[in-house]
């Protein structure tokens, strides 16, 4: 396993991933699960956020206590499916700014195509977590991260639910500085570049467009 890949083996996350994989899980439950897993992962992905000490008056005395410091964060979901992870992140990070990158994977060539981009104006002063439930060939994630780097962003993390070994290899090669966080590294890709065993088409399952 590449050094910059973190696989979340927490039992709550693993349990919820199994429910996501189940083809009988309907749209409502699927959406809720994606959001819950994103929130649980956010807890760990933000572990290295810098803190500073401030004074706060408790009802008893003055305490020296810590608050978040340093560079601000932004999250950037890759449309569509990345949108499903935004709610869960925002629950833990209520002030986080949210940029959007619209990419779709051509069903025949599996090449990513960009159709939308709207980022916070001060994005190049922020650390960024890119969100997408699926890292399959890695084309979409690599293109989105390349685009963000062109905007001057230096510290980027990539957070997904299911990753393929092929996607991890591609992203590690294209962007060796980017840490990848996932809940499972699956077996590989099928002939249509879908992740095996995976969970099917994440966007279709979140938005009920199957
Ligand atoms: C899916 C998924 C990723 C991409 C992964 O999106 O959400 O963005 O495919 O595949 P890759 O690693 O091979 O690029 P899709 O293109 O199906 O668009 P959607 O989110 O609008 O359904
Ligand atoms: N996109 C998905 O939504 N699922 C896959 O398995 C691969 C790409």
Per-residue model confidence as pLDDT tens digits over 161-184: 999 999 999 999 999 999 999 999
0.85 cut: is pTM over it? yes
In the predicted model, is pLDDT for residue 39 greater than 90? yes
201 is catalytic: yes
pLDDT higher than 90, residue 23: yes
pLDDT at 43 over 80: yes
204 belongs to the catalytic site: yes
Q: Is the pLDDT of residue 26 over 80?
A: yes
> How do 184-185 and 162-163 pair as beta strands?
parallel
Q: How far apart are CA 136 and CA 162, in angstroms?
A: 8
Would you place residue 110 in the very low, low, confident or very high pLDDT band (cuts 50, 70, 90)? Answer: confident
Percentage of the chain exceeding pLDDT 90: 86
Task: For residue 106, count other CB atoms closer than 10 A to its CB.
Answer: 10
Residue 188 binned pLDDT confidence (cut-offs 50, 70, 90): very high
Provide the residue count of the chain.
Answer: 210
Catalytic residue among 109, 122, 177, 209: 109
The active-site residue out of 87, 127, 174, 204 is: 204
Choice from 185, 202, 203 to test ligand 2 binding pocket (greatest atom count within 8 A of CB): 202
Establish whether 105 is a catalytic residue: yes
What is the per-residue burial (b if ≥16 Cβ within 10 Å, else e) of 52-81? eeeeeeeeeeeeeeeeeeeeebbbbbbbbb
Q: How many CA atoms lie within 13 A of 28 on its CB side?
A: 0
- 178 closest CA partner among 136, 137, 127: 127
Mean residue pLDDT across the chain: 95
For residues 141-145, give the mean pLDDT: 96
Which one of the ligands is nearest to 30 CA? 2
């Amino acid at each position: 396993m590449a050094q910059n890949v973190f696989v979340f083996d927490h039992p709550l996350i693993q349990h919820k991933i199994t429910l996501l994989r189940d083809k009988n899980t309907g749209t409502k439950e699927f959406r809720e699960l994606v959001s819950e897993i994103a929130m649980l992962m956010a807890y760990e992905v933000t572990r290295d956020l810098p803190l500073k000490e401030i004074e706060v008056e408790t009802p008893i005395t003055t305490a020296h206590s810590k608050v978040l410091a340093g560079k601000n964060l932004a999250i950037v979901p890759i449309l569509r499916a990345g949108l499903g992870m935004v709610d869960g992140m925002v629950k833990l990070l209520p002030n986080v700014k949210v940029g959007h990158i619209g990419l779709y994977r051509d069903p025949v060539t599996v090449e990513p195509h960009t159709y939308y981009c709207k980022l916070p104006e001060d994005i190049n002063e922020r650390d960024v977590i890119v969100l997408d439930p699926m890292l399959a060939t890695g084309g979409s994630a690599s293109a989105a991260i390349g685009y963000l780097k062109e905007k001057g962003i230096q510290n980027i993390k990539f957070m997904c639910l299911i990753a393929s070994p092929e996607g991890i290899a591609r992203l590690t090669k294209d962007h060796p500085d980017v840490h990848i966080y996932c809940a499972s590294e699956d077996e590989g890709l099928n002939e249509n570049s879908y992740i095996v065993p995976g969970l099917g088409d994440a966007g279709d399952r979140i938005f009920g467009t199957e």
